[in-house]
Structure 1
Amino acid sequence: MAHASKPQHRRLAANPRRHTLKTLFCAALAAAGLAAGSAQAADDWPNKPIKIIVPYTPGGSTDIVTRIVMEKLGPRLKQTIVVENRPGANSSVGSAMAAKAEPDGYTFLSMLPAYIINFHLYKLAYSPADLTPVVQMADLPLFLFVAEDLPVKTVADLVAYARKNPDKLTYASSGNGSSAHLTGADFALQSKITMTHVAYKGSAPILTDLLGGRVSMVFDPILVPMQYVKQNRLKALAFTGKERWPTEPGIPTMEEAGLPGFVTGSWAGLMAPANTPKPIIDRMAREISEIVKEPDVRQKFLDAGFLPAGGTTEQFAALMKKDSARYAEIIKQAHITVN
């Protein structure tokens, strides 16, 4: 868990930079289907330990998903799998390491949407063409949690409060450019309200300030905040998934709460250095897709606030392309920029 640090308050500001990533993402998708290497080159894979880079601190959503899956994958591949946490710069430190790794099937990157968001906000030492999609492991839908002392009980109440008090409502995220940041910005756009974004360095200080009423709300997975809802120390107003969360059927979806089309969330997926042999990528995608269907894995996911995903490499590539366009539009409309 990250140590608390002073939150960085910032208004959404005009962004003079505009990023065109279509060509680069097309190259990344092409790499998914045209990765160099033959079946013969992958015949003896894996014959040494495999490293999975998690570009976040231990104990976070990506780390939990990765470790649940890799615990099962190791025995299937008859090989040791090492999960290595390399946090920093909104996941770009670990992503850069993976992008520069040998494309030999022994280094992979486990990532969240921040990976694609970063290309729209930062100048990076790597491009979308440097890594290729493997498979989506999980969906990480979000709940809208608000401080207990905020005088609202529904999303409609929250919107009305924001319109009457345009300078009071704040929303937290674990960093500028995170999916929670953009989800909050999208909520403000769709609700036609004004909010102040508060960026933190990790989830622990967010929870501390939310419980203390120093920040108004956050879009976050269920795992940690829901226990405080049960203690009447926080309120959960809505869920960003298409359908209600299985264990919290009393909490409406954002669509049911009055925002048609507001279905969003985070996800966890696996990437590989570009030109990793396609037979290896296909094997990883197939094995992981089977793993997330196992009943005990599904239960562990649900307990932690995730939904199993799986599927093909092509399906994951299509999701990344769609989300890249969606996040680019939110960034543009909300005039989001970072230093």
Structure 2
Amino acid sequence: MDRRSLLLGLCAVPLCTPALVGTARAQSWPARPVRIIVPFPPGGAIDAMTRLLAPSLSEALGQPFVVENRAGAGGTIGTEAAARSDDQATLLMVSMAHAVNPALYPRLPYGPADLAAVAPVAVVPNILVVPGASPIQDVRGLVAAAKQDPGQITYASAGNGTSIHLAAALFCALAKVEMTHVPYRGSSPAIADLLASRVDCMFDSITSAAPHIAEGRLRALAATTTRRAQAYPDLPTVAEAGLADYAVDPWFAMLAPRNLPEAARGRLGEAVRAAIQQPAIREKFAIIGAEPMEGDGASLQALIEAETAKWGKVAKEAGIQAD
């Protein structure tokens, strides 16, 4: 073959197309150990889910995945750390608080453009509960009691702006009732006062409420979620119990800094979706009340945008501010 023919032949071969480069980079990611920042303390549902997922992601993607808790300021400290990371080996696990925080913290040190949606992970329902000895038997009874004595019915929360607080604020708005908010620093002290009947009700996470419901110390009135909680198939949703437009689905999801290439995010998303389909992981999720979600990065991004708008409106109308 002469030189001219050889050159023509080489020109005809697409040696390094953008698509091939992207695929190669995706297949080589991650090139080193990956940390998953959980912007809340150890021990909660988000921490437990992340630690359940990490070994499966390590096996699927060939590098260690290590969980790092960076709590504070409603999750914004850990989120900022992930958003500012430039090492392509940092991920972020978020809760519904991620969509609420823009309304609570007007000057966040990061914005929507700093993080990319990877995959939804799970919903952990909140359950409307009252003390076992309470005369309130159902949602209609709670609404009637609140209307009879405006402001006298109290509800506990794990703090201002938490999903527990927002679930109650939305309930009050839709039922057109006034109840008094009693914020605590975490769910445990709130539950303690609820069990002692020092407060009247709480929209608590299923994770912490379930043991007390099983013992009869708390009475479950309804699930806050769009669909009935898998752990309580006979328990109506708040919407089924009378507030037709009510829905609070406390969700959890995986995000990545924007500098992680799209192809790598896609590969990671596939690994997350495969992990939450594993029977062993689903069984362990069920223990903490976590219900795996379906979807991809695009559907997660749409969820985040819708939830940010929804909870921004609720927070503004209820005058909710960060602690």
TM-score (norm 2): 0.88
- Aligned position for 2:190: 206
Q: Which consecutive residues of structure 1, in runs of 5 or more, have no partner in the other structure? A: 1-36
Structure 2 letter corresponding to 1:156: R
Greater RCO, 1 or 2 (C-alpha within 8 Å, sep 6+): 1
Structure with max Cα Rg: 2
Aligned to 2:239: 255
Q: Answer yes or no: is the 8 Å Cα contact 1:54–1:85 preserved in 2.
A: yes
Aligned to 1:98, which of 82, 88, 104?
Answer: 82
2: CA distance between counterparts of 1:279 and 1:243?
Answer: 33
State whether structure 2 residue 88 is matched by structure 1 residue 108.
no
Q: 1:203 corresponds to which letter in structure 2?
A: S
**Paired letter, 1:128:** P
| SS of aligned partner of 1:253 | coil
CA distance in structure 2 between the aligned counterparts of 1:244 and 1:116, rounded to whole angstroms: 23
Query: Which residue is 2:7 aligned to?
Result: none
For residues 276-307 of structure 1, what are the alpha-carbon distances to aligned partners after superposition, in whole Å with 9 as ceiling and x for unaligned? 11111101111111111122222221221111
CA-atom RMSD in angstroms: 1.7
Per-residue deviation at 1:40? 4.2
Matched, 1:278 2:286: no
Pairwise CA distance, 1:187: 0.3
- Distance in structure 2 (CA, Å) of the matches to 1:285 and 1:41: 15
Amino acid at match of 2:94: M
Instruction: Quote the residue 1:192 is aligned against.
Output: 176
Structure 1 counterpart of 2:313: 329
Q: Which runs of 4+ in 1 moved over 6 A?
A: none
Deviations along 1:18-52, whole A, 9 cap, x unmatched? xxxxxxxxxxxxxxxxxxx9444444222211000
Cα distance in 1 between the residues matched to 2:290 and 2:88:
27
Count of paired positions: 302
**Residues 129-153 of structure 1: CA distance to partner in whole angstroms, max 9, x if unpaired?**
2111111111122111112343200
Find out whether 1:171 has 2:146 as its counterpart: no
Distance 2:190 2:55 in 1: 30
What letter matches 1:157 in structure 2? G
Q: CA deviation at 1:336?
A: 2.3
Query: Is 1:156 matched with 2:121?
Result: no
Give yes or no for the alignment of 1:299 onto 2:251.
no
> Matched residue of 2:202: which SS?
strand
2:166 and 2:85 map into 1 onto residues whose CA distance is 30
Q: Given residue 121 of structure 1, which amino acid in structure 2 is its aligned partner?
A: L
Mapping of residues 73-88 of structure 1, within 5 Å: 73-88=57-72
Q: Verify the 8 A CA contact 2:103 2:316 in the aligned structure 1.
A: no
Matched, 1:59 2:43: yes
Match of 1:308 among 278, 292, 308: 292
Matched, 1:236 2:220: yes
Distance 2:317 2:125 in 1: 23
Q: State the secondary structure of the residue aligned to 1:153.
A: coil
TM-score w.r.t. length of structure 1: 0.84
User: Is 1:117 the counterpart of 2:100 in the alignment?
Assistant: yes
Shift of residue 120, structure 1, vs aligned partner: 1.3
Gap runs ≥5 in structure 2 = 1-20
Q: Which residue of 2 aligns with 1:31?
A: none
Q: CA deviation at 1:258?
A: 0.8
8 Å contact from structure 2 (residues 25, 264) kept in 1: no
Determine which of 129, 134, 139 is the counterpart of 2:113: 129
